[in-house]
Structure 1
């Protein structure tokens, strides 16, 4: 299997070595505590002095966690003190007892059975490639256990996309290693109690994340305050200004907490960070009650188009917009009843995912939309072909790039305006992709897996070429004779311009 690649084509391990050298150079010139020169026993003393006196929640007796720090890529010098800090954090507060290991056997089903949660401490690279172990980890968390990522826990298992789904995203570089300010995205959240409602400054390495990172799936707790940050740094890939630092999410019946702080040794004796870690660990253990609904769910204006349970809010396709406009009320109602029956026969909800069996017709929103922005996750099989109709008109294209090398995301039916995507950003078939689509007036912008593929392009009226696109209309998930999967569909209506 090919190793994961950076956008410039360089090997990810080499990139990490280069970034490691940059970090060392930074440490020689800008170092707050000369932590690299402090003996471990002295660092432990600093940790002991910084530990909180008690846990934020009453722990269930006998809680056990595994601190796992195996690396197959870049190895952080902060791992030894990180292990000690996490072990002592549980010991002093009584929140848990920790066992540290770098033995992959501890992540087999029998190993995991000993623990209520696993803490991945700066794990890097492809740690192992045993399919049974990987499935066992997913089953472990889904069954109700906890998974915690500290610092580089997103810098591993690139060849295992389900891990990225579970942890919440993948490392995509760290443009900043300096004093930064973190803002609280959810100041009242129990896992953020350590910050006491105030922004927080720290010297550390700050990550950016790539797909499957999304606020449509994660409850983001803290993020980089870009208004107080140098945003002209090299290596900034995200164009949306969204640089999360910590988050929680549910995964099946289980719970996940991730915090990317922890590159530098002194982070592990920062009292505020330790409290934040502890709250996140207790959330993952199930002892600290906290809302893990995605950030979009608590952001004004955003609503779910698909509730993850049934077809509420959706209907079958009746003809095209001009033909529907010519129907009487009675004719339209009769046609809609037949279309809904067809819809129910071929569109199902399985494990929170919309699944189309390849037969039947489009799935349409019951409501019409004018200007809006939306997120939608989609997946196809080999040879798959689909699309997203906007205001009842085709379409933001979805198809297998192996057969259509231009890639997905373009406005396929345009004749006068740009129809092809600016870049190929598809994941391999069988893996999830994410569209961000924004439509204002007759113009459409599309990002596929965070990469800009359509930039403010006019969507033409396919049905009536001599007219502009309709002012409003339904959103449709196109059927084109292939099996399809959709999930995490969110929309926010925008003021008409």
Structure 2
């Protein structure tokens, strides 16, 4: 039985014109990674019963308050039961009023320089989401800066932006210390959490993976980028906290009985 993933792309603020392209790209790649993707922008589907069907939830380019209070509770419950989480690009600008979501995604978006060709450098090439990338990867995308250091909630950074490769002066924030060795403003890219920090104490924590990349329509037809995203998605599923991979899981797509 394939893993089953809910991809949620609702927006309540800025809406990326690449959302439709990203949905089509994931749909086209589903069979190659043995995943069933369900795509929705219906926040009423965030209930305990509905989320219990999924091995992971992907927040795709969301912005603003895209869940009501009941939906937030259902998402928290899902994560507490071992559900896995993926955030892509603008998802870091969603649910800013929801502390557990901020921890689960790792950090909230702060700002970005103008869209331009930039270079990112691989920090860890052993992770499935970076294993296929060149050591220095040139691409056209936004280099996100964040309001906090994702390492503060236990995240491990996978890529960093080469700040000398693009223009746009860093904005000085009065809210946080950017961290070292690179300013966190330049750690604009993917990270992962082996145990998602948004899970409440004494609960089962699935995995979390986030990438700040994915702004343009064109990048969603780039095989390097798609390998990056699919590597992150397949990595969270390997937590084995859900039913597609663990018969004792509390959420997820159960394997077919033989």
TM-score interval (norm. to shorter): 0.7 to 0.9
Matches within 5 A, 1:136-155: 136-155=74-93
Aligned residue-pair number: 224
1:97 equivalent in structure 2: 36
For the structure 1 residues 64 and 216, does the alpha-carbon distance in structure 2 shift closer, same or farther, using more than 3 Å as the test? closer
- For residues 160-202 of structure 1, the C-alpha deviation after alignment (integer angstroms, 9 at most, x for no partner) is 1111011101010112411110011112233311215x11110
1:118 equivalent in structure 2: 57
1:141/1:255 contact within 8 Å kept:
no
Deviation of the 1:226 alpha carbon: 2.0
2:245 equivalent in structure 1: none
Gap regions ≥5 residues in structure 1: 1-60, 289-497
Matches within 5 A, 1:279-428: 279-286=231-238
Matches within 5 A, 1:463-474: none
CA distance in 2, matches of 1:140, 1:128: 14
CA distance in 1, matches of 2:126, 2:37: 28
CA distance in 2, matches of 1:263, 1:218: 22
CA distance in 1, matches of 2:190, 2:3: 23
Q: CA RMSD in A?
A: 2.0
CA distance in 2, matches of 1:228, 1:216: 28
- For residues 414-462 of structure 1, the C-alpha deviation after alignment (integer angstroms, 9 at most, x for no partner) is xxxxxxxxxxxxxxxxxxxxxxxxxxxxxxxxxxxxxxxxxxxxxxxxx
Higher strand proportion: 1
Secondary structure of the residue aligned to 1:172 is strand
For the structure 1 residues 210 and 283, does the alpha-carbon distance in structure 2 shift closer, same or farther, using more than 3 Å as the test? same
1:174/1:206 contact within 8 Å kept:
yes
Matches within 5 A, 1:9-28: none
1:233 to 160, 169, 174: 169
Matches within 5 A, 1:124-273: 124-130=63-69, 132-196=70-134, 198-211=135-148, 213-214=150-151, 217-230=154-167, 232-233=168-169, 235=171, 237=173, 239-240=178-179, 241-242=183-184, 243-244=186-187, 245-249=189-193, 250-251=195-196, 252-273=204-225
Name the TM-score, length of structure 1 as normaliser. Answer: 0.43
Deviation of the 1:100 alpha carbon: 0.7
For the structure 1 residues 137 and 212, does the alpha-carbon distance in structure 2 shift closer, same or farther, using more than 3 Å as the test? farther
Higher relative contact order (CA 8 A, sep 6+): 2
Deviation of the 1:216 alpha carbon: 5.5
Name the TM-score, length of structure 2 as normaliser. Answer: 0.80
Secondary structure of the residue aligned to 1:83 is helix
